């Protein structure tokens, strides 16, 4: 009878476990916190080799529930991190160990906000296990190392840096570069995180950043370009580093996700390094953007490229002219005009801002509009379009035209300039603008009108 009872009890436990698993497969999100805690207690109390696979499957599903804070509180109550570490140490099968470390990594990630499981003891266990794996050399298991790195990533915070440094963690993961694409990508995640807060004068961190960036490929390019951007935000002098600049240029040869961070970096280029934009590879890339996307009227890369040109004109109009508006047909003025006339909100507005800046800083580039009949008509069309946009850009454009009046007088094109505004539709727009409730727009228009009228009166 005793034997039969034990057999029946064991079968009952197995049946209950299977019901729990099947139940979680159906709708675990509807399970109450109490029922989850009850199930957890049951699993922990009925520890049996045959139960472990059920438990891991069940726990993975529990950790996927959106309401994770309450779940984490329950799991911490039963010290699940210590339980998993003990289970790992008791296991000899590598697949079991991989599953447990994977689960621990998910647990650490999910508890990132409450930080209940990110303890020094858990980190020490993970680092020790990683050291053993690396020491195994040719026998090391790539999957286990990946999941160990994933788990350790939750400890990549300022308060744990000292422990990581004392364990030579960053030097060790450098030795893993090239092991697999997944591990390379994981190490890039470490570099990306370090770029946000690690001291850039620390040789260990710099070595990791440089070494990890050597993995530049289609899978890591977006993370590397974001890492470069984050580093530059913290230290603009990094552009003195040839390796950094070379990587920056190379990232432009990958997809849009990689390109966008490099372009964003270039829109913030500092006065000491703006000539980097004049590198042949970068110029070629920007020209290609204008060439390939000028008909895609709301392309974000195109809008950002316009901001880069704007930034260079701000910093050095002469240098901007040399690289973007050389004395030949290979310049971007035609693209700017097309983008103002044909683009949608984002790109059109960036083109108007740039065109207004050119009128102010490089007025001689605008002179051809008043000595060529075809270009004169284009300029009228530009006026018509820009005054229709909104108050801000109309005001910006009119303010730049006010600064152009004196150049027009000095270069004997003032009559042609004034004639550009003497059409019924443009005069009607100006009349309506003069009645606008927008004070900035009204003020800009009044100043422009007074300056132009006074000048024309003197000419008479």
- 161-207 pLDDT, tens digit per residue, is 999 989 999 889 988 988 888 998 899 899 888 888 888 887 887 77
Q: CB under 8 Å to 220, separation ≥6 — which residues?
A: 184, 185, 188
pLDDT of residue 321: 95
pLDDT of residue 138: 56
pLDDT of residue 460: 58
What does the block give as tokens for 284?
């070629």
CA-CA distance, 439 to 460, in Å (whole number)? Answer: 32
Q: Is the pLDDT of residue 429 over 60?
A: yes
Of 83, 114, 99, 203, the C-alpha closest to 151 is 99
Q: Are 178 and 212 in contact (CB under 8 A)?
A: no
Q: What residue has token string 């007025």? A: 363
Tell me the mean pLDDT in the region 96-118.
85
Distance linking the first and last C-alpha atoms of the chain: 123
- The neighbour count for residue 42, using CB atoms within 10 Å, is 15
Lowest mean pLDDT among 39-43, 64-68, 119-123, 230-234: 64-68
CA-CA distance, 10 to 49, in Å (whole number)? Answer: 12
CA-CA distance, 402 to 399, in Å (whole number)? Answer: 5
Q: Is the pLDDT of residue 402 over 80?
A: yes
CA-CA distance, 289 to 324, in Å (whole number)? Answer: 13
pLDDT of residue 20: 52
Residue of 263 and 37 predicted with greater confidence? 263
pLDDT of residue 144: 94
Q: Which of 36-50, 69-83, 230-244, 322-336 has the highest mean pLDDT?
A: 230-244
pLDDT of residue 110: 83
Of 271, 201, 195, 198, the C-alpha closest to 233 is 195
Lowest mean pLDDT among 55-64, 283-292, 412-421: 55-64
What does the block give as tokens for 138?
């040719």
Q: Where are the domains of the chain?
A: 1-24+33-116+142-152, 366-460
Cα angle for residues 213, 283, 253 (degrees, 5° grid):
35
pLDDT of residue 3: 42
Q: Number of H helices and number of E strands within the chain? A: 25, 0
Q: Are 106 and 62 in contact (CB under 8 A)?
A: no
What is the phi/psi pair of residue 266, to 5°?
Answer: -70, -25
Percentage of the chain lying above the pLDDT 90 cut:
37
pLDDT of residue 66: 65
């Amino acid at each position: 009878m005793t034997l039969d009872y034990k057999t029946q009890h064991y079968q009952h436990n197995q049946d209950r476990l299977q019901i729990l698993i099947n139940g979680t497969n159906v709708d675990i999100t509807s399970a109450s916190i109490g029922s989850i805690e009850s199930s957890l207690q049951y699993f922990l109390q009925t520890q049996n080799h045959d139960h472990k696979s059920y438990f891991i499957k069940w726990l993975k599903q529990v950790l996927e529930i959106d309401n994770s804070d309450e779940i984490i509180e329950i799991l911490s109550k039963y010290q699940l991190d210590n339980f998993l570490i003990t289970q790992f140490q008791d296991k000899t099968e590598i697949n079991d160990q991989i599953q447990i470390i994977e689960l621990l990594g998910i647990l650490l990630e999910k508890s990132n906000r409450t930080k209940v499981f990110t303890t020094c003891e858990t980190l020490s266990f993970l680092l020790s296990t990683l050291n053993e794996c690396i020491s195994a050399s040719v026998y090391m298991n790539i999957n286990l190392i990946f999941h160990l790195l994933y788990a350790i990533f939750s400890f990549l915070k300022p308060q744990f840096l000292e422990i990581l440094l004392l364990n030579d963690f960053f030097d060790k993961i450098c030795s893993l570069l090239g092991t697999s694409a997944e591990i390379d990508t994981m190490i890039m995640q470490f570099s990306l995180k370090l770029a946000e807060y690690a001291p850039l004068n620390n040789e260990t961190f710099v070595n990791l950043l440089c070494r990890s960036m050597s993995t530049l490929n289609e899978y890591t390019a977006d993370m590397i370009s974001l890492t470069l951007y984050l580093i530059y935000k913290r230290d603009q002098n990094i552009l003195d580093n040839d390796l950094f600049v070379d990587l920056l240029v190379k990232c432009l040869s990958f997809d849009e996700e990689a390109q966008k961070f490099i372009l964003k970096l270039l829109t913030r280029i500092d006065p000491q390094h703006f000539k980097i934009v004049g590198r042949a590879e970068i110029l070629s890339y920007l020209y290609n953007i204008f060439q390939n996307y000028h008909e895609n009227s709301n392309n974000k890369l195109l809008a950002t490229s316009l901001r880069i040109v704007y930034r260079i004109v701000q910093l050095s109009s002469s240098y901007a002219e040399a690289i973007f508006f050389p004395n030949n047909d290979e310049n971007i003025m035609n693209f700017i005009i097309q983008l103002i006339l044909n683009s949608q909100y984002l790109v059109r507005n960036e083109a108007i801002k740039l065109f207004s800046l050119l009128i102010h800083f490089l007025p001689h580039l605008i002179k051809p509009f008043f000595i060529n009949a075809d270009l004169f008509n284009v300029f009228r069309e530009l006026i018509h379009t820009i005054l229709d946009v909104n108050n801000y850009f109309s005001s910006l454009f009119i303010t730049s035209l006010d600064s152009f009046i004196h150049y027009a007088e000095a270069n004997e094109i003032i009559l042609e300039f004034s004639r550009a505004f003497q059409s019924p539709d443009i005069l009607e727009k100006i009349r309506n603008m003069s009645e606008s409730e927008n004070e900035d727009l009204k003020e800009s228009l009044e100043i422009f009108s007074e300056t132009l009228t006074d000048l024309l009166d003197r000419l008479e």
